[in-house]
């Protein structure tokens, strides 16, 4: 019957479960053990399933149980009223008249009225099991009211002889006192019975370590200590018996607290322990309040230190319940603020564009059971897809996310796929059934040390698995694949990062296949840092270490990481992929979240210790354990071969990377598959790291890096077909389905070319210095991949595609990106590029164009070719480039433009020239023929003016087999005019309107010439452009070495560009002090002697173009006598420093120059 009085049991019909008190769990803190109270573990899914399926008797319903309880409770109170009334009547009311029936009627009526009043006043809504002082006070008040009503009604209703007035007052008071004692006693007895049963049952609510002793002392404020004593006393699962209390407040004024002796304040800890030991109650545990002994960490540390000296185990119990209730999102550590850790505002997603991409589409999520995959699935469901397929190889994880999704979205069609992405056929079967339109690829092995120790498994999942998913996307016509990557893929040093980098490269290669095909699937890569709360993240690791008492382990004192929340990561994935799909963004780019500043892990560890109420290195140690295999000291956002570009998405960057040809990638992956089968871990590491080094130029140079766009299109997605009409030649990518993606029929290049047996090294061609003649420049020299690219074009049979083909378009796109301009037009030579730029800008008859006196003659001839007149300005005596002061003196009423020549790779004073052009409303044309890759303040030449011209002839830094050129501009009108003129006046809009067919088309809106570059030249240019950064670095190193060798020579002055100048070092020009020459009288003699010794050299550019015979019959305007240009003529000595020279060559050249210039 007493079980019926337990109100907590009425909330759950199951007799095996009892609701826990409404107190949140308290986190266990560092170095010690934390007492906490929380609910018992939930029933496992399998248990729930068993409970649902096993037959059992019909349950006793909640309503009937409550009714029975109320009847029993009311009956007990009714009995108490009756018995107490009888006792009162016997003791003090003997004179009441009437027979036995009258007395029975009076007592019965009295008891019923009393019980009814108590019922109506809500007494029976209170549980006897949790009776407290406040409940007793409430009971006294209700009993008083009930007895007053009952006595009044009963005396008036039952005709009996009443006693004297004094007795009439005394008897009800006595009755009330007696009834209160009885009713309160019943309730207190029920509570004590509950506590006794809890002790016998051992309900696991308060946790302590198994080794904790039974005897304990509590130390803290009185209110807190009393609560803890009651909690520990009522929950023996803690294994603690509180034998004393030390109070941080009023320790001398209180003798006992909740039945426990008070032994003084915190300073009495040692004497209290000794006293208890003498009485045979030696404590082994100290239960400590977080705020005990004051608010400073130093005071708490002293208590902890004393306790440890006394061999007391420390159990901390937080008094800051409010802080715990205000902690962050579920699953996060209450010790850390997300914003505080990230050091930046959380990324917020614009949902409209995501909704447009996801709603009504079939979605597939790989790795759906993981942290990212699960959150992706949940957020995707909110946008109303037609169907979601959840793919994972882990049965339990897949079951969990499937159950969550079905419960949260009961109307959403959900398909589960228990499948490993390593198995190509299994992946294809899933795609065959689900036919997804958008695939989110989150499946990966991501734990750095594990993947480092198991490289075959890492490559199998992260490389082969990614290829299988991507290939299925192409085969089954999905619209897009969004790959989840990591910042560990940036400049990877370990296997995990390298495998993720290969996945990025593979997706990029496939994405670039659709450059000219709007229906081609998109392959989008999203890269971000560490995810808070994910498995393997440092925050859960530190939390576990704190709970176990430390120490916290940090791999290096200076290690840093970027952090983001799970929600942020998924929003980044959805936002960037939706923009890529809806806004038709540049293909091949990688999306990167702006994650603010990296967090120093040692600082994070110290912060978590302090927030837990401890002092680092005092209460808890931090141990430096050393970097793990494959782990980097710091993470980066952008790879060394990537360029950060502007993004239209706030808070998100885009990275533009150098791609790798798809045939090479497929050959490498197939080889790695064989190595996985052979379990050759060392070789698979070497192949993997060699592959990821190709874009940065750090792999063996024999690896082809050809015209990646056409190779990828040709091998992976289709072949070229030609539509010709009336002399017009157009190429289009025709999709073919004969062979699966990546299985080209063309004979592959031997793997020994891609993967030489020797370890990969930075390639610098070296010609041994056996004689003086080997010091001549060997540039231009064409690498095997460039020759192979030309051979492929000539043997392709695509005769009509030898111009205006995919190679040319790719070269133009890549070069525009490289320079920072919006548009580029490939032409057949640099002179044509200059002339085309002037024509497109409207320069012609009646105009004057200011040019430097010192340059190659094409700078002037192009002006005459368009009908304008050249005006010669002087040059700077140091850089030899056009002088802005001289230019300003030559500006006249007919001046239309200025040609700024970046001579020999040294950029001119472009800022001053731009200011002049802006002020006088002139056009600025950059002549960058000799300055590929040069820059001013980090901005590359070619991007400053209204248009720029580059040359690729003979020995230029990029050399496209004899001739070649490029016009770049960011002005769309200039681009369209130039594009039309270089190809007979064709309209760009009409050529690219997609209406190619068999009928003749009228597409010429103007007149022009034929300045087109061939496909073979474009293929060479594209390959050399990818190699340009490394080649420029070699040129720069050679020039700097020559400076060191020659700068102290009294007869020479070496070139010294300013700090904001990036010199391209097309040529190395130094000045010889001819007035001091002794053995030789001129630079000409020096040049002759050096050439005799086999050294490439010369006097440099034309000193004064105005003195050429071509101008003899023309009126020429010059800035006086052009003193600087005139002076440079006889003193300039030019040397070659191209990338084919190494240090030994430069050392020898420097020695010869010092010897000759004596």
pLDDT band at residue 195, thresholds of 50, 70 and 90? low
Torsion, Cα 105 111 112 118, to 10 degrees, reads: 160
567, 531 contact by CB (below 8 A): no
SS3 340: helix
| DSSP character string of 536-560 | T-HHHHHHHHHHTT--EEES-TT-E
Distance CA 975, CA 822 (A): 9
Residues whose CB is less than 8 angstroms from the CB of residue 374 and which lie 6 or more positions away in sequence, other chains included: 368, 397, 400, 401, 404
pLDDT band at residue 999, thresholds of 50, 70 and 90? low
Residues in the chain: 1158
Q: Which class does domain 214-318 fall in?
A: alpha beta
Q: What is the pLDDT of residues 597-631, one digit of tens each?
A: 778 888 888 877 876 767 787 778 888 888 777 67
Q: What is the pLDDT of residues 335-372, one digit of tens each?
A: 444 444 555 555 566 678 888 889 999 999 999 999 89
Q: Which residues of 630-651 are buried (b: 16+ CB within 10 A; e: fewer)?
A: bbbeebebbbebbeeeebebeb
pLDDT band at residue 107, thresholds of 50, 70 and 90? confident
Torsion, Cα 442 447 450 454, to 10 degrees, reads: 30
Percent share of the chain, pLDDT over 70: 74
> Given this model, what pLDDT does residue 174 score?
80
Q: Which helix (H) or strand (E) holds 592?
A: strand 589-593
pLDDT band at residue 162, thresholds of 50, 70 and 90? low
pLDDT band at residue 255, thresholds of 50, 70 and 90? confident
Q: Tokens 């024999």 — which residue? A: 702
> Given this model, what pLDDT does residue 645 score?
76
**pLDDT surpasses 60 at 453:** yes
> Given this model, what pLDDT does residue 839 score?
97
What is the Cα Rg of the chain in Å? 44
Q: Which helix (H) or strand (E) holds 416?
A: strand 414-418
Q: Which helix (H) or strand (E) holds 966?
A: strand 965-969
CA 81 and chain centroid, separation = 73
> Given this model, what pLDDT does residue 159 score?
53
**pLDDT surpasses 60 at 926:** yes
Distance CA 1085, CA 1103 (A): 17
Q: How far is CA 1023 from CA 47, 86, 270, 957, in A?
A: 63, 111, 80, 13
Most confident of 9-23, 126-140, 158-172, 442-456: 442-456
Distance CA 367, CA 419 (A): 10
With both helix axes pointing from N to C terminus, report the angle between 495-512 and 466-475 in degrees, rounded to the nearest 10: 20
Distance CA 470, CA 480 (A): 9
> Given this model, what pLDDT does residue 760 score?
32
Active site residues per annotation = 488
> Looking at per-residue confidence, does 88 or 1016 come out higher?
1016
> Given this model, what pLDDT does residue 15 score?
33
Distance CA 441, CA 419 (A): 13
Distance CA 1073, CA 1052 (A): 6
pLDDT band at residue 208, thresholds of 50, 70 and 90? very low
SS3 756: coil
Question: Mean pLDDT, to the nearest integer, of 535-547?
Answer: 76
> Given this model, what pLDDT does residue 703 score?
34
Distance CA 999, CA 1020 (A): 34
Distance CA 272, CA 509 (A): 75
SS3 294: coil
Q: What is the pLDDT of residues 404-415, one digit of tens each?
A: 999 988 899 999
854, 875 contact by CB (below 8 A): yes
**pLDDT surpasses 80 at 289:** no
| DSSP character string of 93-113 | -TT--S-HHHHHHHHHHHHHH
> Given this model, what pLDDT does residue 608 score?
79
Q: What is the pLDDT of residues 700-758, one digit of tens each?
A: 333 333 333 333 333 333 322 222 222 222 222 222 222 232 332 233 333 333 333 33
**289 φ, ψ (degrees, to nearest 5):** -80, 140
Residues whose CB is less than 8 angstroms from the CB of residue 669 and which lie 6 or more positions away in sequence, other chains included: 463, 464, 467, 502, 506, 742
- Quick one: the chain helix, strand, coil %, rounded to 5? 45, 15, 40
Distance CA 564, CA 559 (A): 17
> Given this model, what pLDDT does residue 870 score?
97
CATH of domain 1031-1157: 3.90.1150.10
Q: Which residues of 474-501 are buried (b: 16+ CB within 10 A; e: fewer)?
A: bebebbbbbbbbbbbbbbbbbbbbbbbb
Q: What is the pLDDT of residues 127-161, one digit of tens each?
A: 676 666 777 787 888 888 888 887 777 666 655 55
> Given this model, what pLDDT does residue 714 score?
37
**1147 φ, ψ (degrees, to nearest 5):** -60, -45
**pLDDT surpasses 70 at 301:** no
**pTM higher than the cut 0.75:** no
Tokens representing 1022 are 């594209």
Query: 331: how many CB neighbours lie within 10 A of its CB?
Result: 9
> Given this model, what pLDDT does residue 27 score?
34
**pLDDT surpasses 90 at 867:** yes
Q: How far is CA 343 from CA 339, 584, 1027, in A?
A: 6, 33, 38
Tokens representing 304 are 């902890």
Tokens representing 830 are 């640099």
> Given this model, what pLDDT does residue 1018 score?
94
Domain 341-530+565-596+636-661: what homologous superfamily?
NAD(P)-binding Rossmann-like Domain (3.40.50.720)
> Given this model, what pLDDT does residue 119 score?
80
Ordered alpha helix ranges (H), 947-999: 972-981, 988-991
Half-sphere exposure of 408 (CA within 13 A, CB side): 16
pLDDT band at residue 647, thresholds of 50, 70 and 90? confident
> Given this model, what pLDDT does residue 835 score?
97
948, 926 contact by CB (below 8 A): yes
Residues whose CB is less than 8 angstroms from the CB of residue 340 and which lie 6 or more positions away in sequence, other chains included: none
HEC letters along 1015-1063:
HHHHHHHHHHHHHHHHHHHHHHHHHHHHHHHHCCCCCEECCCCCCCEEC
pLDDT band at residue 214, thresholds of 50, 70 and 90? low
735, 719 contact by CB (below 8 A): no
Which CATH entry fits the domain spanning 784-989+1004-1026: 3.40.640.10, 3.40.50.740, 1.10.1740.10, 3.40.190.10? 3.40.640.10
Q: What is the pLDDT of residues 24-39, one digit of tens each?
A: 333 333 333 333 333 3
Nearest to 1091 by CA among 1133, 1052, 1044: 1133
> Looking at per-residue confidence, does 303 or 893 come out higher?
893
Report the relative pairing of strands 285-289 and 260-261 from DSSP bridges: unpaired
> Given this model, what pLDDT does residue 200 score?
47
> Looking at per-residue confidence, does 979 or 284 come out higher?
979
Q: What is the mean pLDDT of the chain?
A: 77
Distance CA 713, CA 309 (A): 74
Residues whose CB is less than 8 angstroms from the CB of residue 1084 and which lie 6 or more positions away in sequence, other chains included: 1099
Cα(first)–Cα(last) distance of the chain, in Å? 119
CA 894 and chain centroid, separation = 56
pLDDT band at residue 659, thresholds of 50, 70 and 90? confident
Distance CA 515, CA 301 (A): 65
HEC letters along 233-265:
HHCHHHCCEEEEEEECCCCCCCCEECCEEECCC
**pLDDT surpasses 80 at 562:** no
pLDDT band at residue 296, thresholds of 50, 70 and 90? low
Same fold, 214-318 and 341-530+565-596+636-661: yes
Q: How far is CA 719 from CA 661, 723, 1016, in A?
A: 15, 13, 17
Residues whose CB is less than 8 angstroms from the CB of residue 1113 and which lie 6 or more positions away in sequence, other chains included: none
> Looking at per-residue confidence, does 572 or 748 come out higher?
572
Tokens representing 403 are 């159950």
Lowest mean pLDDT among 41-50, 611-620, 762-771, 1103-1112: 762-771
Question: Mean pLDDT, to the nearest integer, of 501-517?
Answer: 86
Domain boundaries, the chain: 69-193, 214-318, 341-530+565-596+636-661, 664-715, 784-989+1004-1026, 1031-1157
């Amino acid at each position: 019957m007493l079980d019926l009085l337990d109100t907590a049991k009425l909330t759950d019909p199951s007799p095996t479960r009892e609701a826990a008190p409404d107190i949140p769990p308290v986190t266990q803190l560092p170095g010690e053990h934390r007492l906490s109270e929380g609910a018992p573990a939930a029933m496992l899914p399998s248990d729930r399933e068993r409970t649902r399926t096993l037959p059992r008797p019909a349950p006793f319903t909640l309503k009937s149980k409550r009714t029975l309880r109320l009847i029993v409770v009311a009956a007990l109170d009714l009995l108490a009223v009756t018995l107490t009334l009888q006792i009162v009547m016997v003791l003090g009311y003997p004179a009441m008249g009437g027979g036995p029936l009258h007395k029975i009627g009076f007592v019965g009526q009295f008891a019923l009225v009393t019980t009814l009043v108590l019922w109506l006043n809500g007494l029976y809504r209170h549980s006897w099991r949790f009776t407290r002082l406040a409940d007793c006070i409430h009971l006294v008040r209700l009993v008083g009211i009930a007895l007053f009503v009952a006595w009044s009604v009963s005396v008036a209703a039952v005709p009996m002889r009443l006693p004297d007035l004094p007795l009439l007052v005394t008897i009800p008071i006595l009755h009330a006192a007696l009834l209160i004692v009885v009713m309160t006693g019943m309730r207190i007895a029920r509570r004590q019975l509950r506590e006794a049963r809890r002790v016998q049952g051992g309900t696991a609510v308060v946790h302590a370590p198994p080794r904790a002793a039974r005897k304990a002392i509590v130390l803290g404020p009185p209110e807190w200590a009393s609560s803890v004593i009651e909690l520990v006393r009522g929950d023996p699962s803690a294994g603690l018996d509180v034998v004393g209390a030390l109070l941080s407040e009023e320790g001398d004024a209180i003798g006992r607290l909740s039945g426990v002796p008070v032994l003084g304040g915190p300073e009495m800890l040692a004497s209290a322990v000794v006293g208890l030991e003498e009485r045979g109650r030696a404590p082994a545990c100290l239960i400590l309040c977080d705020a005990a002994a004051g608010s400073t960490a130093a005071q708490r540390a002293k208590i902890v230190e004393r306790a440890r000296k006394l061999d007391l185990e420390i159990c901390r119990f937080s008094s800051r319940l409010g802080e715990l209730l205000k902690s962050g999102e579920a699953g996060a550590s209450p010790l850390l603020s997300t914003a505080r850790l990230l050091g930046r505002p959380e990324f917020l997603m614009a949902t409209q564009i995501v909704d447009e991409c996801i709603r009504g589409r079939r979605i597939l999520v790989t790795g759906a059971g993981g942290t990212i995959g699960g959150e992706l699935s949940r957020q995707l469901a909110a946008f109303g897809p037609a169907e979601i397929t959840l793919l994972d190889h882990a049965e339990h994880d897949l079951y969990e996310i499937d159950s969550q999704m079905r419960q949260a979205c009961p109307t959403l069609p959900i398909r589960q796929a228990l499948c490993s992405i390593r198995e190509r056929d299994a992946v294809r079967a899933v795609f065959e059934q689900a036919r997804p339109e958008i695939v989110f690829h989150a499946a990966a092995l991501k734990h750095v040390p594990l993947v480092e120790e198991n490289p075959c498994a890492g490559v199998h999942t992260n490389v082969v698995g990614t290829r299988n998913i991507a290939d299925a996307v192409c085969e089954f016509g999905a619209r897009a694949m969004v790959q989840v990557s990591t910042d560990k893929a940036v400049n990877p040093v370990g296997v995990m990062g390298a495998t993720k980098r290969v996945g990025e490269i593979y997706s990029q290669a496939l994405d670039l296949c659709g450059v000219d095909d709007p229906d081609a699937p998109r392959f989008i890569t999203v890269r971000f840092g560490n995810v808070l709360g994910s498995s393997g993240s440092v925050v859960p690791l530190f939390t576990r270490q704190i709970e176990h008492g430390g120490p916290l382990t940090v791999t290096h004192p200076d290690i840093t990481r970027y952090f983001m929340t799970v929600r942020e990561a998924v929003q980044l994935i959805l936002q960037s992929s939706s923009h890529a799909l809806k806004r038709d963004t540049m293909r091949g780019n990688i999306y990167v979240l702006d994650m603010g500043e990296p967090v120093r892990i040692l600082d994070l560890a110290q912060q978590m210790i302090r927030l837990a109420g401890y002092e680092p290195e005092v209460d808890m140690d931090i141990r430096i354990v050393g970097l793990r295999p494959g782990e980097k000291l710091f993470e980066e956002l952008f790879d060394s071969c990537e360029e950060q570009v502007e993004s239209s998405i706030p808070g998100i960057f885009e990275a533009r990377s150098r791609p790798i040809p798809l045939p090479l990638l497929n050959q490498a992956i197939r080889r790695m598959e064989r190595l996985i089968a052979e379990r050759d871990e060392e070789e698979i590491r070497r192949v993997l790291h060699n592959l990821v080094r190709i874009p940065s130029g750090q792999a063996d140079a024999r690896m082809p890096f050809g015209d990646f766009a056409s190779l990828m299109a040709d091998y992976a997605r289709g072949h070229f077909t030609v539509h010709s009409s009336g002399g017009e030649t157009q190429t289009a990518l025709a999709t073919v389905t004969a062979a699966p993606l990546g299985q080209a029929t063309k004979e592959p290049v031997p793997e020994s070319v891609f993967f030489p047996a020797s370890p990969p090294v930075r390639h610098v061609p070296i010609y041994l210095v056996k004689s003086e003649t080997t010091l001549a420049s060997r540039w231009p020299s064409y690498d095997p991949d460039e020759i192979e690219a030309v051979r492929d074009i000539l043997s392709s049979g695509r005769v009509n595609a030898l111009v205006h083909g995919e190679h040319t378009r790719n070269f133009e796109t890549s070069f525009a990106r490289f320079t920072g301009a919006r548009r580029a037009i490939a032409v057949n030579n640099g002179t044509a590029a200059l002339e085309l730029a002037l024509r497109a800008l409207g320069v012609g008859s009646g105009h004057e164009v200011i040019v430097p006196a010192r340059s190659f003659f094409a700078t002037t001839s192009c002006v005459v070719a368009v009908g304008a007149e050249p005006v010669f300005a002087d040059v700077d005596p140091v850089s030899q480039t056009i002088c802005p002061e001289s230019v300003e003196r030559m500006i006249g009423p007919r001046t239309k433009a200025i040609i700024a020549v970046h001579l020999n790779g040294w950029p001119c004073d472009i800022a001053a020239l731009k200011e002049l052009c802006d002020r006088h409303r002139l056009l600025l044309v950059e002549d960058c023929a000799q300055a590929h890759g040069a820059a001013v303040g980090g901005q590359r030449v070619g991007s400053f003016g209204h248009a720029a011209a580059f040359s690729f002839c003979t020995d230029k830094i990029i050399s496209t087999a004899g001739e070649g050129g490029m016009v770049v501009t960011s002005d769309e009108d200039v681009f369209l005019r130039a594009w039309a003129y270089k190809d007979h006046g064709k309209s760009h809009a009409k050529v690219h309107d997609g209406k190619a067919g068999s009928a003749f088309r009228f597409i010429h809106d103007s007149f022009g010439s034929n300045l087109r570059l061939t496909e073979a030249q474009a293929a060479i240019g594209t390959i050399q452009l990818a190699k340009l950064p490394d080649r420029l670095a070699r040129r720069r190193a050679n020039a700097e070495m020559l400076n060191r060798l020659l700068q102290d020579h009294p007869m020479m002055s070496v070139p010294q560009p300013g700090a904001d100048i990036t010199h391209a070092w097309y040529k190395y020009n130094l000045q010889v002090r001819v007035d001091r020459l002794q053995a030789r009288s001129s630079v000409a003699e020096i040049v002759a002697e050096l050439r005799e010794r086999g050294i490439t050299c010369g006097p440099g550019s034309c000193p004064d173009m105005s003195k050429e015979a071509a101008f003899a019959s023309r009126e020429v305007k010059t800035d006086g006598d052009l003193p600087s240009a005139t002076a440079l003529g006889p003193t300039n000595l030019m040397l070659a420093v191209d990338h084919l020279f190494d240090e030994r060559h430069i050392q020898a050249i420097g020695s010869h120059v010092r010897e000759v210039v004596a």
